[in-house]
Structure 1
């Protein structure tokens, strides 16, 4: 199945929603009927069923969105919409009632051209509306609108109702704005009040909104227009997407990713004068839309584009040039592949009937002397796996998943950069494999509370960690990505593009991305915020873990399953060097006074240490001696014994080698740091009877507070 067929199937499966205004997560959402789009209206006119004016009002921005017939994209020159349009088209008396200066015209010739265009607008609109009313598909509300606008009193009525006000000179001119929109471009919609005698149950039991005065919500009007417009096609052609002879589409819809997306098209081939089909095919005929190179049915194009618009607005991700949407064929709720494990788990918590089963968070204030994260603030991998199992249990045997990505290199062209269909069960399996193979403990702050989860961070967080830099005030620096002149973050799109196959298809992780993450995590001096550095470090650990997991799956000699907990039997050179670096950092930090924020020697030399560990360790060790002397004897002895224990695990040739450390040193570093933080609850006390190696709980708490800052 191709992408057009998938989207048409999505449209057909939800056809009963077409034209029906719904609420989705607190926002209005509508699946556009064939030939419809939304417009921002500034004026609403009220008439009765005989076409008599009853009143009008200016619309606020939050109520302005209007579903309107919009069969083909407008081209240059006057082209009226079938039902609702701007005042230039709807008001036949506009030139009589309003003074037009055309102050934006560059010269008299342009002013005359604008005036001629304005004169042509209303006759075109009225002729189109008349043709609809005289067709077998006419509608009473449409006939009422036709009778009203044919009187050519729209502008005068709006002036008398003070919807159109005078300027500072007392003249109603084109300088007047309606909701910051120029007067002639102010979009008009209609309410038609029918004189039907209805009971309350008739109105409540009206699924088509036929009794609603809002013409744009009346589904009987929508069906009337669709039938009428399809009857106007004189010829049919072969639709390359369905293989059937149907009315062909001359142009294709806009605003695919959002209301702001007013230029980019997915299907566009309107260059009939230059190089599009030179020497190969007959070029496209302007009047009929015939194209020997490609022909797409109008209904097919409308269904595919409207379904895509709807699903993007319903559950798509659009940010910094990235637009991704994934859906299950029955629209069952499935986790997003680009989300973090915490996001996926929180969605399950919100949607679950029994929220207590997935309760993972407890409101605990983050204070300087807070110890390890409590279990109530901790989302384990087991709970995440249970959440995925919950999704899987709701799937049917024929459940399919579609993942689609869009991007635009220029404002006028939209490209589909990724399209994948797969079984939903396989999608969940690959998603579980991604979070399991990358599983690490990640921290995030929510409502000023520190929380921890096991799994993988979101793709956006990965992009920030690997390619972002700290920006902002010194007391609150944030990781941010650099943006180009279009205000897009190219590296965010790159991360989505390259990691998407890893998650959805189980592909290999990009080696250069892993190297970049390791280099970033090896430079703690680049980060003022400890939270930011910990995020970078933990994401780097996740990527390194995934890399060696892949090698293990391919039965390579370097392949290994790296654990989140400290592995005291691991004799890998890089892993061991990471451990001794963590011990050195702990020793120095244990001597700091409360509130002291000095960088340790271990952090200062970390980058050099990763490149030349044996030589750099001698420097770190020498600088560590004054700090060891400040510790109590039992603590000093404990750390010396620990360093001796780690050093004893080295092969001699590995220890004296000055080859670069690989990413596993970050795994050893972070695991050892975490293990040392567990004093005094989980570790056995050193000889001498002290409850912690530093000798006092206060020292431990001071250090913990520093870590979180």
Structure 2
């Protein structure tokens, strides 16, 4: 199934949301657009009476407005005259602009606007509110009314385009509309509304009867029927597809064939229709569903879109998220006591059953990554459509194999969370490149991690090496950042090694054992420092880089430096001293050397710290 077909099915499955405004957690409002509609930031709102007389006007702070559109107006650019059917810029909808300094171009734009609006009014699908707007605009008094209501201003009979020092001396403080539209005032976008006095009356851009009126009218104008390569139906086709996919100012298109003089299709086809033909309704539904999904649940990093959705249940577990964001059973107040990877996988599987049960047997899960290299072209970097059971099994496998115990602050409120599982792909970028990494680097890493999660590929070695290098250098960052980097790096290495979080006393790998030794030394020294109210770095932390490169030589220095701390703790240090001797006894003579350590030393280090922390808690409870 193609991504276009999946998006079309999503649109059809969510028809009850069409035209309904929703709000995301960041207070961003969005709508599942009706067919033949788009959104535009409006600067001026003009309210009319049912008879088409001017009532009032006000300046808006670029309010996103649902407006009807034609194929031509949706993709207009440059000098092309292609008016929107109802709401538009002053240069299009103000018929008296030529009386206030407008040119022949603005006159032609209004003539095209009013002629197109008249065709809608004359159709059998005309709505009373549309008739009122037509009656008003054909009077050609829009600029005059806005001037009289102190929205626009004139100088020597001509409309003031820019509020400069001369105008300020004349009128004083800058007028609101000139703050919203700092230059080229005739580009201010106008939206119309009609007030009938009915209780709880909807604004015209929220009235489903109005937008259905245009849909019915415009569908009758569509003539050229072709085989739609997406739906398989013979329906009116289009070669003008939607833009504004990621946000209202986005000019990039996913499908375009307007370069008739280049190499878009010439040399193989005479026209773009021979390459591919897509139905107008199909294109509208797919693109409108995509915009809605991106606003609703997409993750956008430096203009790159990461989107996951289900066909019949839009919201589905995101592979890029960690388990703390996915299910509350993995949060701080319900830490799972895990002994084996198998037990952990079972716990993850139980957590996923809620998603599995809410999806039908035929439901698919779609993963889509989009980005643009230029302002005009948007490309699909990654797309997968998986049967929901297969998808959830892959997610379960990821969280069960790339898991560690994490304890760090997360979210806008910086609340501390504790959970077992795989880190989010954003946090993997944090571990590999730091908290101030360039967004381009992070979005590249997130794209590279998706095949590891969905297709089971190995984590790229450069990502693991970078995270390992940073985790081995705690003095280069704040303590909280190092602890977060350490646990995430351990999860990445654990995916390769499969050793588990729980301390394994049967592992005699030299790197793992050296890591355990370092953890005991760190624990002993930090314990002694804390008894005197100190908080400085331990020698184990300070010499960690040297330790990973020359473990035996560095261990001798670290071990020797522990003497004053053991003296300070007295008999309390006996157990830790005995533990260090037990670990050293597990080395073979040949392996207790200065060869550099691999990533397993961090697993040994972290597992030993977790075990010591748990032992201390158990002793406190006794």
What TM-score comes out, normalization by structure 1 length?
A: 0.78
Judged with a 3 Å threshold, the aligned counterparts in structure 2 of structure 1 residues 16 and 333 are, in CA distance, closer, same or farther, namely: closer
Instruction: Tell me the distance in 1 between the aligned counterparts of 2:427 and 2:216.
Output: 49
Other-structure match for 1:543: 492
Task: Give per-residue Cα distances to partners, 1:514-560, cap 9 Å, x unaligned.
Answer: 22222221122221x111001111111101111123xxxxxxxxxxx
- Given that residues 552 and 592 in structure 2 are in contact (C-alpha distance below 8 angstroms), is that contact kept between their aligned partners in structure 1? yes
- How far residue 15 of structure 1 moved from its aligned partner, in angstroms, is 2.6
Q: Per-residue displacement from partner, 1:176-216 (whole Å, max 9, x unpaired)? A: 54552143112112222348xx7x7xx7xxxxxxxx45222
- The 2-side partners of 1:538 and 1:249 are apart by 52
Q: 1:583 pairs with 495, 520, 526, which one?
A: 520
User: Secondary structure of the equivalent of 1:190?
Assistant: strand
| Aligned counterpart, 2:94 | 91
Instruction: Find the counterpart in structure 1 of residue 402 from structure 2.
Output: 438
- Does the 8 Å contact 1:42/1:178 carry over to 2? no
User: What is the rounded CA distance, in whole Å, between the counterparts of 2:208 and 2:568 in structure 1?
Assistant: 81
Contact 2:330 2:420 in 1 (8 A): no
User: Do 1:190 and 1:214's aligned partners in 2 also have CA atoms closer than 8 Å?
Assistant: no
Change (3 A) 1:60 1:602: closer
Residue 230 of structure 1 and its aligned partner are, at CA, apart by 2.7
Matched, 1:174 2:161: yes
- 1:44: which partner in 2? 45
Whole-angstrom CA distance in 2 between matches of 1:386 and 1:280 = 53
Q: In structure 2, how many angstroms separate the alpha carbons of the residues matched to 1:144 and 1:380?
A: 69
Alignment partner of 1:467 is 2:433: yes
Note the residue ranges of structure 2 that are not aligned, 5 or more in a row. Answer: 164-176, 339-343
Change (3 A) 1:130 1:615: same
Q: Distance in 2 between matches of 1:442 and 1:526?
A: 20
1:503 aligns with 2:453: yes
Q: Deviations over 1:571-609 (max 9, x none)?
A: 121111111111222333333264534433322322222
Query: Which residue is 1:10 aligned to?
Result: 10
For 1:320 and 1:250, how far apart are their aligned partners in 2? 29
Q: Residue 262 of structure 2 corresponds to which residue in structure 1?
A: 274
Given the alignment of the two structures, is residue 450 of structure 1 paired with residue 416 of structure 2, yes or no?
A: yes
1:194-273 counterparts in 2 under 5 A?
194=196, 212=201, 214-260=203-249, 262-273=250-261
Relative distance call for 1:621 and 1:432 in structure 2 (3 A) is same
| CA RMSD across the alignment | 2.7
CA spacing shift, 1:640–1:3, aligned 2, 3 Å: same
Residue 240 of structure 1 deviates from its aligned partner by 2.9
CA positional deviation for 1:461: 0.7
Query: Match for residue 673 of structure 1?
Result: 609
How far apart are residue 458 of structure 1 and its match?
1.1
Corresponding residue for residue 563 of structure 1 = 500
For residues 225-265 of structure 1, give each alpha carbon's deviation from its aligned partner in whole angstroms, at most 9, with x where no partner exists: 222223223433333333333323232111111224x2211
Secondary structure of the structure 1 residue equivalent to 2:274: coil
Native 8 Å contact 1:380 1:454 kept in 2: no
Q: In the TM superposition, what whole-angstrom CA distance separates every residue of 1:283-320 from its partner, at most 9, and x where no partner exists? A: 56xxxxxx433332222211111111011111111122
Contact kept, 8 Å, 1:459 with 1:496, in 2: the verdict is yes
Structure with more helix by fraction: 2
Separation (CA, whole Å) in 2 of partners of 1:444 and 1:518: 18
Structure 2 residue 161 is matched with structure 1 residue 183 = no
Q: Tell me if structure 2 keeps the 8 A contact 1:282–1:293.
A: no
Pair 71,636 (structure 1): closer, same or farther in 2 beyond 3 Å: same
In structure 1, what is the equivalent of residue 480 of structure 2?
531
- Shift of the 445–415 alpha-carbon distance from structure 1 to 2, 3 Å rule, reads same
Displaced runs of 4 or more, over 6 A: 379-383
Distance 2:112 2:203 in 1: 24
The gaps in structure 1 that reach 5 residues or longer are 101-114, 204-211, 285-290, 347-357, 362-375, 469-478, 483-488, 550-561, 686-690, 692-709
Query: Contact 1:378–1:451 (CA<8 Å) still a contact in 2?
Result: no
How many pairs were matched up? Answer: 592
Note if contact 1:437-1:545 (Cα within 8 Å) is conserved in structure 2: yes
1:519 paired residue number = 469
SS at match of 1:264: coil
Kindly indicate whether the alpha-carbon contact (under 8 Å) linking 1:464 and 1:481 is maintained by their aligned counterparts in 2. Answer: yes
Superposed CA offset, 1:604-640 (max 9, x none) = 32222222322332333333344444441x2454333
Q: CA deviation at 1:70?
A: 1.9
The alignment partner of 1:269 has SS state of coil
Aligned equivalents of 2:455, 2:608: Cα separation in 1? 34
Contact 2:313-2:359 at 8 Å conserved across structures: no
Per-residue Cα deviation, 1:48-100 (whole angstroms, up to 9, x for no partner): 33322222222344xx221111223112222211111111111111221x346
For residue 592 of structure 2, give the secondary structure of its aligned residue in structure 1.
helix
The aligned residue for residue 620 of structure 1 is: 558
Q: 1:345, 1:391 → 2: CA distance?
A: 10
**Partners of 1:400 and 1:292 in 2: how far apart?**
30
Contact 1:51 1:147 in 2 (8 A): yes
C-alpha separation between the residues in 1 aligned to 2:162 and 2:325? 50
What SS does structure 1 have at the residue aligned with 2:278? coil
Number of the residue aligned with 1:494: 444
Residue equivalent to 1:702 = none
Post-superposition offset of 1:463: 0.4
Match of 1:647 in 2: 584
